[in-house]
Amino acid sequence: MSDSKKKGHYQRLRKRFLSGAMGSHSEEALLELLLSFSVGRGDVRPLAEELLHHFGSLSEVLAASPESLKKIPGIGESSVALFKVINFIRSASVAPEEKRTSDGPLPEQSGQAMEPVAAGIPTDMPVDYSAAEAVRVSGRNDGRRKFQVCNGYLLEFDQLARVLHFLLEHRDAKKISRASLQESTGLAERQVASLISMGAALELIQPGRQILTPVGLLIAESDIFIEKKGTLEWCHCVAAGSRRNLIWFEVFNHLLAQDSPMTQKGWCQQLRETLAGQYTDRTIGKHLHEEVRFLVDAYLERNLRKLELLHQTQDGLLYRRRYTNFDPLVLAAMIYDFASEKEAQLFQVSELATTPGSPAVVFGLDPTTFRNLIEGLHERGFVRYETTHNLDQIRLKPSLSALELLSAHFEDRGLRDETSPREGGVRR
């Protein structure tokens, strides 16, 4: 590409971004735009695609160590410095309440060096994952949608358990390097990156820092292989209910909500039409089939099949059966978490039963069935179901939270008798 063509291409990238043109804010387009400022050669789209394929998402590209970034041909000091500056600014703006302490740098644990948050940035910034914390760490509301979750791998729960086990052993770390995970688990670098991506989609692992979320800690302590019914219920709800997990969300909130079953190929075709213009044809053609295969395998062959949500006919048609056999504490936690995301304490039942991302929609429940389940939660004292004076609404209790409900479930105990208000989300 000549200098004039390169300059024109870069200018078009910037104008598309500033104008908000369709597809200009996708992860690939944003990364391509960033690279246009740091790479002194022609078409940077292949390099952007390679970075996303290697690390899994734009967020993880920005958070990657300088050493990992430099392993990608075409990435030099200028790009690394740009990524690190942006990641530092992003971290500071996401968590402005984090204060520097005098604790000093993070010590090495079991011989494993913990990686700094960014090149040259001290690691003395505490991370508090208590239920009262005001900042979500899952990224569910960050507005970015992640096209690739699996990066070509399948959801091997035993391998994910190896990662969770290491993170559990280092639960006090502020950040854990992928190199430490790779050395401990014996897995390949790309496989570790993929498992972190899947763990983040299930909201068990905080991406970028590679540490356990509050629920990730509960599950790692009580069901590290993710086998129990309540664990699978929760993992399905957060993964399929998060808009950030693009393909996962679209499948369970839109494709499976249609009346007519489709084949795996049909899913790919419809998703391709839905995403046209938002991502390049090359990205969709290269990764869409892998993501769909990942989901079908996870629900038909892996642990998630225990929920019996997804089924397949002899002709290969995929369809969903509604799921009603909930653990009451887990179902209540799902509702509280969804409400926390929406920053609401009161919902109309009809609204909650039909809003994409809600527990009712991702489990395929019709409004009548959902009302019956809500009545059961009301009788247990987990929510207030108000039906008098022509009302049909759910009111959450300020003394309860998703984290408290899940803790009671995983610790096999009753709810604590509390009267003071609690923050609602498990990622708060």
Answer whether residue 63 is part of any domain: yes
The reported pLDDT for the residue numbered 88 is 79
Query: Are 164 and 219 within one domain?
Result: yes
Answer whether residue 417 is part of any domain: no
Single out the residue of 417, 423, 419, 249 nearest to residue 339, CA to CA.
Answer: 423
Answer whether residue 104 is part of any domain: no
User: From the centroid of its chain, how far is CA 175?
Assistant: 18
Q: Classify residue 305 by its DSSP letter.
A: G
Single out the residue of 149, 191, 187, 178 nearest to residue 298, CA to CA.
Answer: 149
User: From the centroid of its chain, how far is CA 193?
Assistant: 14
Overall average pLDDT of the 296-311 stretch: 97
Answer whether residue 102 is part of any domain: no
The reported pLDDT for the residue numbered 58 is 84
The reported pLDDT for the residue numbered 364 is 96
CATH of the domain at 370: 1.10.10.10
Query: Are 193 and 332 within one domain?
Result: no
Whether 250 contacts 166, CB under 8 Å: no
Overall average pLDDT of the 85-103 stretch: 53
What's the pLDDT band for 8 if we cut at 50, 70, 90?
low
Give helix 45-55 / helix 189-201 axis angle, nearest 10°.
80
**How far, in Å, CA of 69 to CA of 77, rounded?**
10
Answer whether residue 427 is part of any domain: no
**How far, in Å, CA of 116 to CA of 84, rounded?**
11
Q: Each residue of 103-115: pLDDT tens digit?
A: 333 333 333 333 3
Q: What is the mean pLDDT of the chain?
A: 82
What's the pLDDT band for 420 if we cut at 50, 70, 90?
very low
Answer whether residue 105 is part of any domain: no
pLDDT at residue 236 is higher than 90? yes
pLDDT at residue 223 is higher than 50? yes
The reported pLDDT for the residue numbered 224 is 97
pLDDT at residue 409 is higher than 90? yes
Query: Are 309 and 347 within one domain?
Result: no
H or E stretch covering 59: helix 58-63
Query: Are 226 and 251 within one domain?
Result: yes
Answer whether residue 422 is part of any domain: no
Query: Are 119 and 233 within one domain?
Result: yes
pLDDT at residue 391 is higher than 60? yes
The reported pLDDT for the residue numbered 417 is 57
List phi, psi (to 5°) of 312.
-140, 130
Answer whether residue 423 is part of any domain: no
Which position has the higher pLDDT, 342 or 401? 401
The reported pLDDT for the residue numbered 298 is 98
pLDDT at residue 124 is higher than 70? no
pTM for the whole thing? 0.72
Choose the final residue of a domain: 97, 129, 151: 97
**How far, in Å, CA of 76 to CA of 94, rounded?**
27
Domain extent, residue 294, equals 110-320
Q: Each residue of 157-207: pLDDT tens digit?
A: 999 999 999 999 999 999 999 999 999 999 999 999 999 999 999 999 998
**How far, in Å, CA of 283 to CA of 269, rounded?**
14
**How far, in Å, CA of 161 to CA of 195, rounded?**
10
Q: How many other CB atoms sit within 10 Å of the CB of residue 421?
A: 13
Query: Are 219 and 338 within one domain?
Result: no
19-55 burial, b at 16+ Cβ within 10 Å, e below that, comes to eeeeebbbbbbbbbbbbbebbeeeebbebbbebbbbb
Q: Each residue of 243-267: pLDDT tens digit?
A: 999 999 999 999 998 768 999 999 9
The reported pLDDT for the residue numbered 122 is 33
DSSP count for the chain of H helices, then E strands? 19, 7
Query: Are 117 and 194 within one domain?
Result: yes
Choose the final residue of a domain: 320, 338, 361: 320
The total domain count for the chain is 3
